[in-house]
Amino acid sequence: MTAVLRLEAVFCSFARGRDRVSVLEEVSLVVPAGGIVTVLGGPGQGKTTLIRVASGTLKVDGGGVLVDGQQLVGISEGALTKLLARKLAVARRHGPDARLTVEDYLLSSLSATKEGSWRSRRAAVARTLDEFDLGGVRSLRWRELSDWQRASLELAAAMIRRPKLLLVDDVLVELGWAAKQRALELIEGFALDQGGAVLMAVSDQTTGTRGAEVHSLAGGKLRLMHKDPDVVDIYERREARQAAD
């Protein structure tokens, strides 16, 4: 399977006073097209650092970071900006500019790709609002949304761009069980139907069991965990769906 994201023996550390503290130590990971890889870790274990490294927005001390075959380590800022707009999207919990409505936020996210006409972008936003159950709050701003609506909006803003790689930085942690399952279904649909690659960094066991591969992150080390036998492999589901078509 084609590797959309490849981390090769990545080291990453931060200065703390006169010392340096390691956050990622020789972390290697492959996320293929159409696959979901989940990394489970507690607070302060480096989940957000991992997402930032994967997106190229945080420099590493060593190792390689490749997105769609392109090395991000040492890449120019201009080239990185273009790559992020075309191939990669990140769902975080920070929210948009306070002045933007839900509809405007989705439109601005889609416009960053510089693809399609204004009319086609507006149509894509309308479809996405319906798909993510955000049509009723299209004119609201971030502070007026519920936790579920905020999580949905961040996922929608990332997925509307149809990136090759979707990075999810623990956006589902505060959702209830039903809302979390709905969000996970949307993420799985992105992988199954669009062939997108997904890396999810999560802090709860419910979300952590979803994915073709589930890893734990602790002490800077990544460890492959055993999958729950009841979890259906995402790759098998994708192949079955393709065969049915």
Is 74 part of any domain?
A: yes
Structure tokens at 127: 């479809």
CA dist 52 → 56, 117, 134, 158, 199 (Å): 6, 31, 27, 15, 12
| Angle in degrees, CA 15, 20, 22, rounded to 5 | 110
Is 238 part of any domain?
A: yes
Q: What is the mean pLDDT of residues 27-56?
A: 92
Is 226 part of any domain?
A: yes
Domain count, the chain: 1
Residue-wise pLDDT tens digits, 202-229: 998 777 777 778 999 999 999 988 554 4
Is 146 part of any domain?
A: no
Whole domain around residue 171: which residue ranges? 3-95+164-244
Q: What is the CATH number of the domain that holds 199?
A: 3.40.50.300
Task: Say what the pLDDT of residue 235 is.
Answer: 46
Cβ count near 113 (within 10 Å): 17
Helices marked H in the chain — which ranges? 47-55, 77-87, 102-111, 118-131, 147-159, 177-194, 205-208, 234-244
Structure tokens at 191: 């992988």
Residue-wise pLDDT tens digits, 5-33: 999 999 999 888 788 888 999 999 999 99
Answer for the pair 51, 101: CB distance below 8 angstroms, yes or no: no
Q: What is the widest separation between alpha-carbon atoms in the chain?
A: 59
For the whole model, what pTM was predicted? Answer: 0.87
Q: Is 29 helix (H, G, I), strand (E, B) or coil?
A: strand
Is 113 part of any domain?
A: no
Is 20 part of any domain?
A: yes
Cβ count near 107 (within 10 Å): 20
Is 38 part of any domain?
A: yes
Q: State the residue for tokens 């490849």.
A: 6
Is 110 part of any domain?
A: no
